[in-house]
Amino acid sequence: MNTTSRQSAQYKSGFQRAAYRFFRSPLSIIGLVIILVISVVAIFAPLIAPYPKDAISGVHFGNSFQPPSLAHLFGTDEVGRDVLSRVIFGSRLSLKVGLVVVTISVLVGVPLGLVAAYVGGPWEVVIMRVTDVFLSIPPLVLALAVAAVFKPNLTNSMLAISFTWWPWYVRLVYGEALSIKEEDFVEVCESVGASKSHIMFKEILPNMASTLLVKVTLDIGYAILMGASLGFLGVGAQPPTPAWGTMVSLGRVHLSRAWWLTTFPGLAIFLTVLGSNLFGDGLRDLLDVEMER
């Protein structure tokens, strides 16, 4: 209603409105809950996991392929390790992947995007063209190619993913910055002779914080998914590391014998990604950010 004017005292604060909008959608609450649960599990893994030893080393050949039971809720794997414990510890690795990848991408992508948009000139051309090149290869494909260069292990797969991820931030930041650049307060700063870096990082950047926040939230999920995918294709973490993607791909060999080996780690990946998706989407509504994907 265009008639409600905004000065009157009893109006809700910006935060209240946000919260109101957020909690209006059950989906985003579900997302929030999932994220919290998984984080807690990751943090307290050693306390929660019934057989912490199994996550790292420890083989009990006598006890292999036990179907889910009270002793082993998720069953045991081909060398008799407790799948539940491994899944629990896997959450740590997954979150690590998500966070590391996104952090690197932000650190690399954001400055480049700002420079391209604000400084412009040859910088803009170079940065944006390079970005285009990266963006025109499907991330998974590129990550795969990069991962192949190094020894297959968790760190390298994280690097590989980051290598394919930063351009998305360049693109996003670039677009945002271009529009913000046009606004008055930027011109004001320029007129009072603020330094380029000041304007970029102190004036423009804060104005796209919410957009970035949403992007990051969504991306943590997608990065985890990508990490799992690489693991599945065999360029991820190596045994006995309990990474979800790797567990799924190793479990496949025994699919017809032991469904639980593939089912539970996969489920874990799914929930994590779903969580960050729902939450990120809720965040998007809440900060009303316009963004595809």
Partner 1 sequence: MSQHILEIKHLQVWFHTIDGVAQVIQRAELVVEPHQAVGLVGETGCGKSVTAKVILGSLPVPPAEIKQGEVIFCNEDLLSLRVKQRKELLKQSMSYIPQDPMTSLNPVFTIRQQMVDLIKWHKCANIGLGGLLGLRGWTKNKPARKTALQLLDYVNIPAPEKIVDSYPIELSGGMRQRVLIAMALVGDAQFLIADEPTTALDVTIQKGILNLMEERIEERGIAILYITHNLGVARRLCARICVMYAGNVVETGPTLELLEDPAHPYTIGLINSVPKLTKESYVGIEGTLPDYLQPPSGCRFHPRCRYAEEICRNTPPSLREVGEHRFASCHMIERFR
Partner 2 sequence: MYRKSRALVVPFVVIGLVLSLVAFVVFAADENVFTYATYQESMTCDPAKSVDETEVAIVLNAYDPLVYPVKGAAPKPWIAESWEVSESGLEYVFKIREGVKFHDGSDLTAEDVVFSMKRMLQINQGFSWLWNEILEPDDVNMTGTYEATFHLNKLFGPFIATLVQFNVVNKDLVMANKKPGDYGEFGDFGQEYLETQDAGSGAYIIDSVTLGDTVIFTKFDEYWHGWEPGQLDKVIWRVIPERATMDILLKKGDVDMIDQWGTPEEYEELAATEGVVVQEDPNVMLYLHQINNQRAPFDDINVRKAVCYAFDYETALRDIFHGAAQAEGPVPILLPGHSDNVTVYHQDLEKAREFLASSTYSPAELEDMELIYVYVTGNELERKLGLLMQNNFAEVGLKVTLEKAVWGRMCDMASKPETTPHFMAIYNGAKYPSPDMFTYTLFNPNAWGTFRSCSWYENEEVTELTVTARKTIDTEERYALYMRAQEIITEDAAALFIANPIHRIAMRDYVKGYDFCGINPFDLVFYNLKLDK
Partner 3 sequence: MSGLFILKRLAYMVFTLIGISILIFVLTRVLPGDPARLALGPEANEEQVEDLRHALRLDRPLPVQYIWFLQNLVHGKLGKSLVTHRDVAKDILQRFPATLELVLVSLGLAVIIGVPLGIVSALHKDRVVDYLTRAVAFTGVSFPRFWIGIMLQLTVAYRLGLLPVTGRIGGLAPPHVTGLFLLDSLIALDFTAFGDTAIHLILPAITLSLSPLAQITRMVRANMVEQIHRDYVTVNRTIGMPETLLVYKYMLKNAFSATLTTVGLMLGWMLGNAFLVEQVFSWPGIARYGINSVLRNDFNAIVAVTLVVGLGYLVINFVVDLLYRFLDPRIRLEK
- Per rule CB under 8 A, is residue 145 in the interface with partner 3? yes
Q: Which two tokens stand for residue 266?
A: 């996969």
Who contacts 85 (Cβ-Cβ below 8 Å, separation ≥6)?
Answer: 49, 50, 51, 52, 54, 55, 242
CB of residue 253 vs partner 2: minimum separation in angstroms?
Answer: 5
Among 25, 37, 65, 99, binds partner 2 (CB under 8 A): 65
1 makes contact, choosing from partner 3, partner 1, partner 2, none, with CB < 5 to 8 Å by partner type, with partner 1
Decide if residue 140 touches partner 3 (CB under 8 A). Answer: yes
CB proximity list for 226: less than 8 A, separation 6 or greater: 101, 139, 140, 143, 161
**Which of partner 2, partner 1, partner 3, none does residue 58 bind (CB under 5 to 8 Å by kind)?**
partner 2
Residues across the chain: 293
Minimum CB separation of residue 63 from partner 2 in Å reads: 10
> Residue 2's binding partner, choosing from partner 1, partner 2, partner 3, none, with beta-carbon cut-off 5 to 8 A by kind?
partner 1
Of the candidates 286, 116, 99, 277, the residue with the CA atom closest to the CA atom of residue 211: 286
Alpha-carbon distance 58 to 79, whole Å? Answer: 9
Quote the DSSP letter at residue 150.
Answer: S
Q: Does 266 bind partner 3 (CB under 8 A)?
A: yes
Amino acid letter, 231:
G
Residues of this chain that interact with partner 1 (CB under 8 A) are: 1-5, 8, 10-12, 16-17, 20
Q: Is 234 in the site for partner 3 (CB under 8 A)?
A: yes
Query: Per-residue string for binding with partner 3, 189-228, x by CB under 8 A?
Result: --------------------------------x---x--x
Of 181, 234, 263, 289, the one binding partner 2 by CB under 8 A: 234
Residue 138 token pair = 């499907």
Query: Encoding tokens for residue 42?
Result: 């990751």
Residue 48: exposure state from Cβ atoms within 10 A (0-12, 13-18, ≥19): middle
Least distance (Å) between residue 133 CB and partner 3? 3
210 binds, among partner 3, partner 2, partner 1, none (CB under 5 to 8 A by kind): none
| Site residues (CB under 8 A) for partner 3, limited to 41-70 | none
Residue 3, binding choice from partner 3, partner 1, partner 2, none, Cβ under 5 to 8 Å by partner class: partner 1
Output 25 or 238, the one with its CB closest to partner 2.
Answer: 238
CA distance 68 to 70: 7
Per-residue x/- track, 160-179, partner 2 (CB under 8 A): --------------------
Do residues 279 and 214 touch, judged by C-beta distance below 8 A? Answer: no
d(CA 111, CA 118): 10
Strand partners, 76: 82
Dist. CA 292–CA 226, nearest whole Å: 19
For position 157 contacting partner 3 by CB under 8 A, the verdict is no
Angle of CA points 49, 47, 42, to nearest 5°: 75
**Contact present, 101 and 87 (Cβ < 8 Å):** no
Based on the shown chain and the rule CB under 8 A, indicate whether residue 255 belongs to the binding site for partner 2: yes
Interface residues with partner 3 (CB under 8 A) are 26-27, 129-130, 132-134, 136-142, 144-151, 221, 225, 228-229, 232-235, 245, 248-249, 252, 255-256, 259, 262-263, 266, 269-270, 273-274, 277-278, 281, 292-293
